[in-house]
């Protein structure tokens, strides 16, 4: 008998706990109907952890995350914790998890569901059929570079410093992740930086070209400056297959790409590390949307991004492609039936709560499985 998979849930703040409740519903369904059993553990992170433990993530939670087969995070942050120092803000907990688990590759797919092509603020013909993957470097760059800080440099004069820094190794491993993914897709990678003004960007481009020449000649490689990429994403997003970029540009471009699909409430993500000798793949999955404090606690958040993140986990961490297909198919079916949370509501649709959306998706899974 194979051991149950160890799953650590970190619901976090705002709508995090609400959308995570719907993931639990699917986990329970899989346990009884598909004999896919998880040992589920749950811990606070972000603001919830600050309130309980005084830090956004405890060493204990980090150890649990290291020991789990996969981690699923809801969202962190909110106005309540906005004025804290950087080191103890909710976001610091997420950054520490990424860094300590070595999750350097952040995969953010932006897919337009046929039923939602009209929910985009862009014209239907621009986004219909869109399927791009942003591969964001997640443990380097200006988010982590030293020196950093705010210092007094004269009377009434302060200076804020952050450092953008990338090494050959960091660039090569994220580029390899992008090339490998492209091989399973349309075989095209667009590498994005600001090589025209930044040395780190110039090194990025040189190293990507070198790795491509050494090992990935079969993949079609192009390069784009980040500002141009931001523009091209709204002008003609379907020109892209895989976009690989650094931590900061990836943060911005992935929000932009997510919105092409109609709602941030739809987009999942996977953050992966290097596969260890034991075969273990460090992995954390999370919806791209944040904690959405404005709608938290009302039971109206869209749980689809969290559910699709769990779907990515089934696929990437557990090789459960059939179960992932079942879940994703159910999401499609529910959307085709016009069932909508408020963020993706359209004329003629039926607006439902977070919970009712989760129930409808599980009902579709049930239908498809019998």
Among 194, 241, 285, 343, the one annotated catalytic: 194
238 is catalytic: no
Task: Give which of Mg ion, ligand IPM, none residue 178 binds (C-beta under 5 to 8 Å, depending on kind).
Answer: none
| Displacement of CA 62 from its chain's centroid (Å) | 19
Give the CA distances from residue 27 to residues 40, 141, 310, in Å, rounded to whole numbers and listed in that order. 9, 36, 9
DSSP string across 108-157: EEEE--GGGGGGSSS-HHHHTT-EEEEEEE-SSGGGTEEEEEEEEEETTE
Q: What is the dihedral of CA 311, 226, 92, 266, to 10 degrees?
A: -30
Among 69, 246, 251, 343, the one annotated catalytic: 251
69 is catalytic: no
Nearest to 142 by CA among 177, 193, 107, 80: 193
115/266 with CB nearer ligand IPM: 266
Q: How many C-beta neighbours within 10 Å does residue 140 have?
A: 22
The residue nearest Mg ion at its CB is: 251
According to CB under 6 A, which residues from 226 to 265 bind ligand IPM?
Answer: 251
251 is catalytic: yes
Contact between 251 and Mg ion per CB under 5 A: yes
Q: How far is the CB of 27 from ligand IPM (least distance, A)?
A: 23
Among 143, 166, 216, 285, the one annotated catalytic: 143
d(CA 30, CA 20): 15
Q: How far is the CB of 92 from ligand IPM (least distance, A)?
A: 8
Task: Give which of ligand IPM, Mg ion, none residue 94 binds (C-beta under 5 to 8 Å, depending on kind).
Answer: ligand IPM
Nearest to 164 by CA among 151, 146, 150, 149: 146
According to CB under 6 A, which residues from 26 to 85 bind ligand IPM?
Answer: 77
Binders of Mg ion: how many residues, by CB under 5 A? 1
Among 41, 53, 131, 255, the one annotated catalytic: 255
- Is the CB of residue 96 less than 8 Å from the CB of residue 56? yes
264/307 with CB nearer Mg ion: 264
86/366 with CB nearer ligand IPM: 86
Residue appearing with tokens 């075989």: 187
Q: Which stretch binds ligand IPM (CB under 6 A): 14-22, 88-96, 148-156, 183-191?
A: 88-96
Give the CA distances from residue 354 to residues 4, 110, 138, 335, in Å, rounded to whole numbers and listed in that order. 28, 21, 30, 14
Q: Which stretch binds ligand IPM (CB under 6 A): 22-30, 89-97, 124-132, 339-347?
A: 89-97
Q: How far is the CB of 91 from ligand IPM (least distance, A)?
A: 4
Strand 145-154 relative to strand 188-193, pairing: unpaired
Q: Applying CB under 6 A, which of residues 70, 94, 270, 308 lies at the interface with ligand IPM?
A: 94
Q: How far is the CB of 250 from ligand IPM (least distance, A)?
A: 8
Q: How far is the CB of 242 from ligand IPM (least distance, A)?
A: 18
DSSP string across 190-213: EEEE-TTT-HHHHHHHHHHHHHHH
Number of H helices, E strands in the chain: 12, 14
Residue appearing with tokens 């179960």: 323
251/323 with CB nearer Mg ion: 251
Q: How far is the CB of 155 from ligand IPM (least distance, A)?
A: 33
Give the residues lining the site for Mg ion (CB under 5 A): 251
Give the residues lining the site for ligand IPM (CB under 6 A): 77, 91, 94-95, 251
Active site residues: 143, 194, 227, 251, 255
């Amino acid at each position: 008998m194979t051991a149950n998979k160890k799953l650590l849930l970190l619901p976090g703040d705002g709508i995090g706990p609400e959308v995570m409740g719907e993931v639990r519903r699917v986990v329970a369904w899989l346990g009884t109907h598909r004999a896919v059993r998880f040992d589920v553990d749950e811990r606070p992170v972000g603001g919830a952890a600050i309130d309980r433990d005084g830090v956004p993530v405890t060493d204990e939670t980090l150890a649990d995350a290291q020991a789990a087969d996969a981690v699923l995070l809801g969202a962190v942050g909110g106005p309540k914790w906005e004025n804290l120092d950087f080191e103890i803000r909710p976001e610091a907990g997420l950054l520490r998890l990424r860094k300590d688990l070595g999750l350097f590759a952040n995969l953010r797919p932006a897919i337009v569901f046929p039923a939602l092509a009209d929910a985009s603020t862009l014209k239907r013909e621009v986004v219909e059929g869109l399927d791009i993957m942003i591969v964001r470097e997640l443990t380097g760059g200006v988010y982590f570079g030293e020196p950093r800080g705010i210092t007094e440099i004269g009377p009434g004069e302060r200076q804020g410093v952050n450092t953008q820094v990338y090494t050959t190794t960091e660039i090569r491993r994220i580029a390899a992740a992008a090339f490998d993914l492209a091989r399973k897709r349309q075989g095209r990678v667009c590498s994005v930086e600001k090589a025209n003004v930044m040395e780190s960007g110039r090194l990025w481009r040189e190293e990507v070209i070198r790795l491509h020449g050494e090992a990935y000649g079969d993949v079609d490689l192009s390069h784009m400056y980040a500002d141009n990429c931001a523009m091209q994403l709204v002008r003609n997003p379907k020109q892209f297959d895989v976009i690989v970029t650094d931590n900061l540009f990836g943060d911005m471009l992935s929000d932009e790409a997510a919105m092409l699909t109609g709602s941030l409430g739809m987009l999942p993500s996977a953050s992966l590390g290097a596969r260890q000798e034991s075969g273990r793949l460090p992995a954390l999955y999370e919806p791209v949307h944040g904690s959405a404090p404005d709608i938290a606690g009302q039971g109206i958040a869209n749980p689809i991004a969290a559910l699709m993140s769990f779907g990515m986990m089934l696929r990437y961490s557990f090789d459960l492609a059939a179960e992932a297909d079942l879940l994703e198919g159910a999401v499609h079916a529910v959307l085709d039936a016009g069932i909508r949370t408020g963020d993706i509501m359209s004329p003629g649709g039926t607006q439902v709560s977070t919970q009712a959306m989760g129930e409808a998706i599980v009902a579709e899974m049930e239908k498809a499985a019998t």
